[in-house]
Structure 1
Amino acid sequence: MASRIRLLQLIIFLYFFKQIVSKVEFTNIKCTSLDPEFASFDYCFLKSVNRTYKYLSLKVKLLKKPVTKVKVNFAFLKKYNGYKPSLFNVTVDACKLLKNPKSNPVAAYIHSFFKSYSNMNDSCTFNHDLIVDKVSIDSVNTKATAVLPVPHGDYMFHSNWFAYDINRATVNVYGTLS
């Protein structure tokens, strides 16, 4: 009898524990082309389908193809009194990362957020437009809250995209962790 009561208590605890898990919410996305003669954004938006399903999509039109040398700077910032550096600020050679994801585990983790939603997965010669299509908040939630313990608050994921060592674009994704 006592073991059944303990089992019931454990089930109730797990049920309520599941209810208080952290949740990520997209709040905005801003994409800026810093060199409109090199690349432009066809679209960059968040779409809220209903209260529980929200996703982000973007498409970069490359105007000088092929692109063979790409670096990316990723920074994770938390809003205190303005956005301040938080967990990481990493610059990687995207070509090396695509060839060998184990070369930089932090960058590979960041890439995993949009890898399955993107056409930036194979080689580094980009002779096509770059698309990130329908990254759902559910997939971000799973990767962000299950892997890293991150304090609640407002965050910005800032990225600078360099081609041939010239900053060509920035993408900022804003969100809240509650």
Structure 2
Amino acid sequence: MTRKLHLTVVFLINIYLIGKAYALVEFTNIVCEAIDKDFVKFEYCRLKSVNRTYKYFTVRANLLQIPVTEAKVNAGLYKRLSTYKPFFYNVTIDGCKFFKNVKLYPVASSVYDFFKDVSNLNHTCPYDHDIIVNKLTADNFNHRFSNVLDFPTGDYMFKVRFIIYKNIRAKFQLYFSLK
């Protein structure tokens, strides 16, 4: 009798685990581009692979004309079909107003959640210092892409454009696979 109960429990646990297959995010590339080199310079923009399963990226952007008092951020998610096509969202927000009340921007606040613990992008304008994102891992993305939203597997690009004083000054692209 005990053996049957044990086998039943093992069977139910296996069914549960098979039904809970999660997609995993794997970073594949990162591109940082200073469009206006008189305004911003990327000191470093790296994707670091510690081992096969643990990767993170680190970025440091030096602002050359400070303080920054007017900034907009355009962020979009693209899925690779034959080329990268817009997928799911593409939003532009006022960066200075955003940090005053993050909850007013539901889509942008979910993007902010990725960066809040590993960056110094956590206050309103004026920005008078370099922008640093330090060791952002794929684990930050895994929860949102597998538990919160059900994304199809494939190759994606997360693109961010920084529009400062009505001109695009820098571009950031993070490429990743969802498996």
1:154 aligns with 2:133: no
**CA deviation after TM superposition for structure 1 residue 9, in Å:** 2.5
Per-residue CA deviations over 1:62-116 (Å, capped at 9, x if unaligned) read 0001111110001111000101111101000011111111111001101111111
Residues 113 and 143 of structure 1 are in contact (CA less than 8 Å); yes or no, is this contact kept in structure 2?
no
TM-score by length of 1: 0.93
Letter in 1 for 2:126: T
Could you list the runs of 4 or more consecutive aligned residues of structure 1 that deviate by over 6 angstroms after TM superposition?
Answer: none
CA distance in 2: counterparts of 1:134 and 1:121, whole angstroms: 16
Q: Are 2:130 and 1:120 aligned?
A: no
- Structure 2 contact 22–147 (Cα < 8 Å) conserved: no
Partner of 2:104: 103
Aligned residues: 177
Contact 2:40–2:63 (Cα < 8 Å) also in 1:
yes
Q: SS of the counterpart of 1:116?
A: coil
Looking at structure 2, the residues matched to 141 and 79 of structure 1 have their Cα atoms a distance apart, in angstroms, of 19
**5+ long unaligned stretches in structure 1:** none
- Which residue is equivalent to 1:61? 62
Match of 1:70 in 2: 71
- How big is the shift at 1:141? 1.2
Q: Which residue in 1 is equivalent to 2:18?
A: 16
Distance in 2 (alpha carbons) for counterparts of 1:166 and 1:75: 18
**Equivalent residue letter for 2:56:** Y
Residues 1:176 and 2:173 aligned together: no
CA–CA distance in 2 between the matches of 1:80 and 1:137?
22
Aligned residue in 2 for 1:37: 38
How far has the Cα of 1:7 moved from its partner?
3.5
State the distance in 2 between where 1:21 and 1:140 align.
Answer: 12
Cα offset, 1:17, TM superposition: 3.7
In structure 1, C-alpha distance between the alignment counterparts of 2:14 and 2:77, rounded to whole Å: 36
Q: Deviation per CA, 1:10-45: give whole Å up to 9, x if none.
A: 212223344x31011000000000100011100001
The residue aligned with 1:134 is 135
Encode CA deviations 1:126-166: one digit per residue, 9 max, x unaligned: 10000001001122212322111111110011111011111
RMSD of Structure 2 on Structure 1 (CA): 1.5
TM-score of the aligned structures, taking structure 2 as reference length: 0.93
Structure 2, gaps ≥5 residues long: none
CA distance in 1, matches of 2:163, 2:142: 28
